[in-house]
Chain A
Amino acid sequence: MNVPEGYVHAIRLDESTVRLVHSDGTRLIASRAPDGRLWVDVIRPGEPTRRIVAEAVRSSSLGASRPESKPAERRVVAPTSGVLREYGVAIGDRVAPGDVVAVVEAMKMKIECRAAIAGTVRLVGAEVGTRVERGAFLVEIEPSGFSVNSTE
């Protein structure tokens, strides 16, 4: 396989996994998950291993080095796969940041899903009692009048 510029070594371990060695000594294990995301473990001599998880990119935008910042979190999604136990809100309710809007149960733990912004509940997703996957849409919040653009 082609060795990218700046790297001395690249071996494809299987269809979705590559082991790379950078010219500065950094070792990388990179893989593409079934959902398209890129997972990279970065191993530098004398430093703890680091992990990067990056969204998939279109081929056309390859080479863009800086990603855009995330938009304000209007949507509350399931933090983990599990069973949706209850909603803490109904459509039309006003919520403040940190309010519990839903509870997902996984491995006998009840995990509270909280609103990131202040606003009004406009939509709810899955039905209570059903299985939800990680990242599944639970609640959509319409931001209140004042600015809620988070800058991370």
Chain B
Amino acid sequence: MRIAIAAERLGVTSIAAVTPVDLDSRVVEHAREILRLPVSDAASTYLSLDALTKAIEDSRATHVHPGYGFLAESPALARAVARAGAVFVGPTETVLTEMASKFASKTFARDAALEELGLPFDDATGRIAADVRYPILLKADAGGGGRGNKLVEHPRDLPEAVASLRARATELFGDGTLLAERFLRRARHVELQIFGIFGRGVRVIDSRDCSVQRHHQKVVEEGPAPNRALAAIGPARLGVERALSRRGFRGAGTVELLYDEEDGKIYFLEFNPRIQVEHPVTEMRLGIDLVEWQLRESLEIGAAELFDELDAPRCHVIEMRVYAEDVEAGFVPDPGRIHVLERPTMPWARWDSAQRPGADVPPDYDPMIAKLAVLGATREEALIHARMALDHTHIHGVRTNLDLLRAIVGSDDFCADRHDIAWLDASKPTLAGSSFDLDLGPIHELFAVAPADAVGESRSVYAWKDAHRR
């Protein structure tokens, strides 16, 4: 939808390639033309490059925007688009290939002079350099998702930890190869918004902090990143710009980093050559439309002037992801039909959503209902705006994480900027408030219907935060 609107502003005809299941989605209302992809199964269609290639050839498309998902990072798609005689909106296939490979992105980190979490660990001898700072995290190479990790607090515990983890990894994965990483006790997730213009090079245009995470999923994002983290990034910013310029990077990308609150250093996580979910933070801060930037860069519509349109912003933006989920049951998705959707309409609030009242939150996709972003002159003002905006958001029909978001932006830790990436999972902020009693009788009466039309008996009233345990 964003792409179609940006195209309309630029006077470019947009064609949406959609599968039958997406025919009632919003992109269809905004695109100038619709191109139906043949298969009905969403999982296979967007992956089917042959179908896409054919669709591109059959249409008069000159440029292909891959969206914001995993396709935007796909070297195979970039190649298929080129083969079909069109231009891929984004980085070149070579850059995408490099970033898709873990090993090659290590080379990028070295080029950009960014330190990594990985430590020089000799798997054969089970030894590590003597000057390494503890604690360290031992990992089974074949493991993943936290399975087969061991925290080592002191050098004297290393031999035993190596032996026991190797035995466990061999038993679990049939592979005893181990890796060692720095373990950051208190880390912040910070990232740099990158934009590359053909012929003008690559620039870091903004920073963000996405440390409020549950199970490694971002919940609240803000920008800019804290000053101490930006100071720690310092010269690495130039390294990133140079390393990406040399690779001829085009379009939008994000460098993800960890900032260690204890040693005050920055570590490289990964580079994503696409627009991320949290891009509204940067768009609001800079007053730009990154999707339009991508199109202008690719279609060469005033591309050279893009960087000149930026000035140094002084404001702060906080973005909150509104999910349809049952937080207390352990973030279980809660699909269903939304029958009331009231959103904040203040000039400093932005609501990005494909949902509207009467729409279903489907059970097969990400349960995100909306991204709610607020702008303030300072972080303090943005926090006040965040609380206000949440209180002007009303979603009926599915359970949401709105209470959790209220608890986060109302918590002492988040307000004082002393949270870290483990904070949300560890501290589980809840809302404080006095208990209340509300006589629902008069409200029921407002919706009074003939007895035959009413459903069931007056059985239960389960209130906010009430233990409606099943």
Contact = CB atoms under 8 A, between A and B. Distances in A.
Interface of A: 1-2, 4-7, 10, 16-18, 20, 28-44, 47-65, 67-70, 73, 76-77, 79-83, 106-107, 109, 111, 113-114, 116, 134, 152
Contacts of B340: 16-17, 29, 31, 39
B336 A106 contact: no
A42 to B, nearest CB: 6
A120 to B, nearest CB: 19
Interface string B319-339: 000000010010011111101
Given A80-B326, A107-B333, A68 B391 contact: no
Contacts of B11: none
B312 interface: no
Interface majority SS on B: helix, strand, loop or mixed? loop
B440 A56 contact: no
B406 interface: yes
B434 interface: yes
Given A36-B456, A48-B403, A80-B334, A42 B451 contact: no
Given A55-B458, A65-B439, A39 B396 contact: yes
Contact of B446 (A10, A73, A76, A111): A10
B130 interface: no
Contacts of B314: none
Nearest to A53: B462
B447 A7 contact: no
A40 to B, nearest CB: 6
Nearest to A63: B441
Contacts of A29: 340, 342, 394, 396
6 contacts: A32-B447, A52-B440, A53-B461, A59-B451, A80-B363, A82-B363
Contact of A82 (B335, B432, B448): B335
B443 A30 contact: yes
Interface of B: 326, 329, 332-337, 339-340, 342, 363-367, 390-391, 394, 396-397, 402-403, 406-407, 410, 431-434, 436, 438-451, 454-465, 467, 469-470
B462 A56 contact: no
A55 B461 contact: yes
A66 B465 CA distance: 18
A56 B451 CA distance: 11
Contact of B442 (A5, A31, A39): A5
A56 B456 contact: yes
A70 B466 CA distance: 13
Given A50-B436, A62-B441, A107 B458 contact: no
Given A63-B441, A70-B459, A107-B367, A58 B454 contact: yes
B332 A54 contact: no
A64 B455 contact: no
Given A4-B446, A6-B442, A43 B391 contact: yes
A73 B464 contact: no
A48 B464 CA distance: 11
Contacts of B470: 73, 76-77, 79, 113-114, 116
A81 B458 contact: no
Contact of B335 (A4, A61, A81): A81
B454 A57 contact: yes
Given A49-B402, A65-B439, A58 B458 contact: yes
A31 B460 contact: no
A28 B363 CA distance: 29
A49 B450 contact: no
Given A52-B461, A65-B441, A80-B363, A34 B339 contact: yes
A43 B326 CA distance: 21
Contacts of B458: 55, 57-58, 61, 64, 67-68
A111 B332 contact: yes
A152 B442 contact: no
Given A48-B391, A152-B469, 14 more contacts: A2-B446, A17-B339, A30-B446, A38-B443, A48-B410, A49-B403, A53-B462, A56-B456, A65-B440, A68-B459, A73-B470, A81-B363, A106-B363, A152-B467
